[in-house]
């Protein structure tokens, strides 16, 4: 139970799977969690009008300041982070649901600077990343030598840009579609690499160019996604984790990730002008 004296007004940008889940949950449980809905924005308005009262709908995103949100949650598209991230951070804490957008080092630098300048926190949700805070601590101590995140899913669960999407037609079995720097993978699979992007942000000494991302298509995985994290430190230190994330066929986002986002939002009460994994 949160401190009820501090109510955080939350603006949600994007009303797809995650946005609708979070808006509904804030309306249902927000009072006991110290959260209230300031606004919801989406590019198309039909679904918003079906599900929300008109006072909660923000028609024009450039007018977000009028709603006085303490925290803005982007669950939309990397383009929105690029176009609005700095503006959001001038006025509110900002949870970036599409951290793959930060593989653009110029954008990452600008958001870090704006957060610092305005004393607002740029929150990165851990999503399906297990052990992100441990990775961050190891990285801060200079003890991280290498980091690999491997995401294995049924081919119907990937949304890939060319040339990767041609590999879908290879048929039954397991195929490594990409193995290399997360920086190079983000533009090819922006919706599938947010967990890897969170890992890169947790390990700034390796960053998007130093963290290895692997995506594997596996027709055996009809009921869950697998996320493996391989951490290597000095003097033989290693940690390997494997997470099975239940997911329906065709689902880009595993069902446990919705709960993980909710848990992340509960942390976003303000942690100063910096990047914070939550």
**Binding to ligand NAD by residue 208, rule CB under 6 A?**
no
Site string for ligand NAD, 51-90 (x = CB under 6 A): ------------------------xxx-xx----------
From 53, 56, 51, 54, select the one nearest 13 (Cα to Cα).
56
Distance in Å, CB of 79 to ligand NAD, minimum: 4
Is residue 245 close enough to count as binding ligand NAD by CB under 6 A? no
Part of the chain binding ligand NAD (CB under 6 A), chosen from 39-47, 110-118, 217-225, 236-244: 39-47
Residue nearest to ligand NAD (CB): 16
Q: Which stretch binds ligand NAD (CB under 6 A): 63-71, 188-196, 200-208, 235-243?
A: 188-196
Instruction: For residues 141 and 199, give the distance between their C-alpha atoms in angstroms, rounded to a whole number.
Output: 16
Distance CA 166, CA 155 (A): 11
Closest distance to ligand NAD from the beta carbon of 74 (Å): 7
User: DSSP secondary-structure letter at 270?
Assistant: -
Least distance to ligand NAD from the beta carbon of 8, Å? Answer: 20
Q: What are phi and psi of 237, to 5 degrees?
A: -70, 125
Least distance from C-beta 84 to ligand NAD, angstroms? 10
- Which residues of the chain form beta strands (DSSP E)? 8-13, 35-41, 71-74, 93-96, 122-124, 144-153, 174-181, 212-218, 224-233, 238-246, 275-277
| Identified binder of ligand NAD from the candidate list 8, 9, 12, 42, rule CB under 6 A | 42
The size of the interface with ligand NAD (CB under 6 A), counted in residues, is: 25
Nearest distance, CB of residue 16 and ligand NAD, angstroms: 2
Tokens at 119, concatenated: 């004393």
CA distance 253 to 17: 9
How far apart, in whole angstroms, are the C-alpha atoms of residue 19 and residue 57?
13
Residue from 8, 9, 11, 14 touching ligand NAD (CB under 6 A): that is 14
């Amino acid at each position: 139970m949160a401190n009820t004296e501090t109510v955080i007004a939350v603006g949600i940008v994007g009303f797809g799977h995650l946005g609708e889940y979070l808006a509904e949950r804030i309306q249902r449980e927000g009072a006991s969690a110290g959260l209230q809905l300031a606004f919801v924005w989406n590019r198309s308005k039909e679904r918003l009008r079906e599900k929300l009262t008109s006072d909660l709908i923000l028609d024009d995103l450039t007018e977000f300041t009028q709603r006085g949100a303490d925290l803005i949650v982007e669950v939309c598209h990397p383009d929105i982070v690029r176009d609005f991230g700095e503006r959001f951070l001038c006025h509110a804490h900002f949870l970036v649901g599409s951290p793959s957008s930060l593989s653009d080092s110029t954008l990452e630098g600008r958001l870090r600077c704006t957060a610092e300048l305005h004393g607002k926190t740029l929150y990165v949700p851990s999503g399906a990343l297990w052990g992100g805070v441990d990775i961050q601590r190891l990285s801060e101590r200079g003890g991280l030598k290498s980091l690999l995140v491997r995401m294995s899913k049924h081919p119907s669960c990937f949304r890939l840009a060319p040339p990767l999407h041609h590999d879908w037609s290879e048929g039954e079995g397991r195929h490594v579609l990409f193995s290399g720097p997360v920086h190079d993978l983000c533009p090819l699979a922006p919706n599938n690499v947010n967990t890897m992007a969170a890992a890169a942000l947790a390990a700034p000494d390796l960053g998007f160019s130093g963290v290895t991302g692997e995506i594997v298509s596996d027709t055996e995985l009809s009921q869950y996604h697998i996320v493996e994290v391989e951490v290597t430190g000095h003097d033989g230190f290693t940690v390997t984790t494997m997470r099975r994330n239940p997911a329906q066929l065709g689902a880009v986002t595993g069902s446990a990730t919705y709960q993980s986002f909710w848990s992340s939002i509960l942390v976003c009460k303000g942690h100063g002008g910096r990047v914070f994994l939550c």
